[in-house]
Amino acid sequence: MLILDNIPALLVAIPLLASAVVSLLPSARIAWGFAFFTTLICLYMAFELVGIISSTQALSYAFGGWEPPWGIVFVLDSANVYLVLLVAFVSVIATLYAYTMLAREIAVEDLPKAYAVWLLAIASLFGLAMTGDAFNLFVFLEISALSSITLIALGAGQDRRALLAAYNYLIIGAIGATFYVIGVGYLYAATGSLNLIDITDRLNELGTNQAAITGLAFMLAGIMVKAGVFPVHIWLPAAYSYAPSAVSSLLAAVATKVAIYYFARLLFGIFIDITQLVDFFLLYILMPVSVLAIFYGTIAAIYQSDFKRLFALSSIAQIGYITFAFSLNSHSGISAGFIHIINHALIKGALFMAVGIFALGIGSRATMSSMQGVGRQMPITFAGFVLAGLALIGVPLTAGFISKLYLFKAIFETGNGFYVALIALSSVLSVLYLWKIFEVMWLKEPVQPLKIDKEPASAYLPVWLMVGVIMIFGVYSGEVISSGIGAANALIGAR
């Protein structure tokens, strides 16, 4: 009972405390075991949390027992509880994957500390997903940024460009975070509160003014940097492509998703009072930007020969799909966005993991020229990779199909054929780069023997776990769909 009541706090506190312990452990293996066990506990707690939310609808956890506007609260409802579960699930799989992969890219002596930072990154994602306090979010944003930067920079063991990627992320991320803080400051001056729900109430009471609107705009801008939304995505491709593969798979799967969730929460949850402005922002700014993101990401991916960079660019396009769904500003649009958040996290996680295994196999970066015929040499991983790729396009019986289906459904509701054509065109374009990869990896003859004897089971097992979930969600999609609809209900009410 003690545990059940305090799950929201424990979800953050346990990985934090575990990371302090892990950083002191002498052996890499024990450190991994400890980290993995911690993520398993988190997954269990996340499941419990889903159970609690499905019976109580919403939950507010006050830290230190201080009630909302005075203390810090974690808010849980059907919008973020599935996100918490997603983060917990992906972190378990990614930690499992890290056992083989991180050890090959990071020196053994550094591994315990690396796992400690890894746990900090996971803890901060839980915090970001749950916090209901504007300033507390900034703190978690910074824990997340610093831990991700450290992990990305460790990729310099393989490629020195990782250092530049990490530095760029640090500078751009810090600008974003500072913009966010400026926004919070304006909003605080206008309302006197830091609690997001209380801010909404206060704005309704006092009325919005220029200061509050500017505050919101700066907060959104800061979050957009973290979420990798198109014009401010510039840190993302390099960061994901030079990070160690385990790190790319964790970050690409969930780090941006959490920021996007918060972006949606700010847009639809807080500023009820200024609907007109939000409508304007969605229609005239977010929508064109999302369409640009989709086409920029897809077309740049077609011309890219480095696999990891290619998938990072495709992430920008996929984030574009999510923000596009939000910009439709309808119940079905928001549900489609949330469904795609979950599906894309699983798909992209699986793809990055598979690419990491290929790179391990050939002993150098995975590019169009170095990967010739590798699919034939590593059939088990390649099969999982192909299935995840099909899901990315949106082929029926995969989770990606469900995302596209609901996206189209939301677009049809607007009755605008132009959008339908745009999204269909972009899907066709994404077939191009995936076909290119398939052609190189399967249809060409292998050019060199593999550097490893056989595919490591501990590395492809996580890929297949992810792919398994993708396929299950493609067939039994009820849970994902209801989570998306639940999220939309929580954010804008059951319209």
Pick from 127, 237, 356, 462: which binds another protein (CB under 8 A)? 127
Q: Restricting to residues 473-492, which ones interact with another protein according to CB under 8 A?
A: none
Pick from 87, 89, 202, 353: which binds another protein (CB under 8 A)? 202
Q: Is 84 in the site for another protein (CB under 8 A)?
A: no
Residue (18 or 388) nearer to another protein, CB: 18
Q: Restricting to residues 369-398, which ones interact with another protein according to CB under 8 A?
A: 369-370
Residue (383 or 452) nearer to another protein, CB: 452
Pick from 4, 24, 432, 475: which binds another protein (CB under 8 A)? 24
Q: In angstroms, what is the minimal distance from the CB of 370 to another protein?
A: 5
Q: Which window, 210-218, 257-265, 314-322, 334-342, contacts another protein (CB under 8 A)?
A: 210-218
Q: In angstroms, what is the minimal distance from the CB of 9 to another protein?
A: 4
Q: Is 86 in the site for another protein (CB under 8 A)?
A: no
Residue (56 or 416) nearer to another protein, CB: 56
Q: Is 60 in the site for another protein (CB under 8 A)?
A: no
Q: Restricting to residues 134-193, which ones interact with another protein according to CB under 8 A?
A: 135-136, 138-140, 142-143, 145-147, 149-150, 153-154, 156-161, 163-164, 166-167, 170-171, 174-175, 178, 181-182, 185-186, 188-193
Residue (154 or 313) nearer to another protein, CB: 154
In the block, tokens 């920029």 appear at: 296
Binding characters for another protein, 87-126, by CB under 8 A (x = yes): -------------------xxxxx--xx-xx--x--x---
Q: Is 213 in the site for another protein (CB under 8 A)?
A: yes
Q: Is 13 in the site for another protein (CB under 8 A)?
A: yes
Q: In angstroms, what is the minimal distance from the CB of 342 to another protein?
A: 26
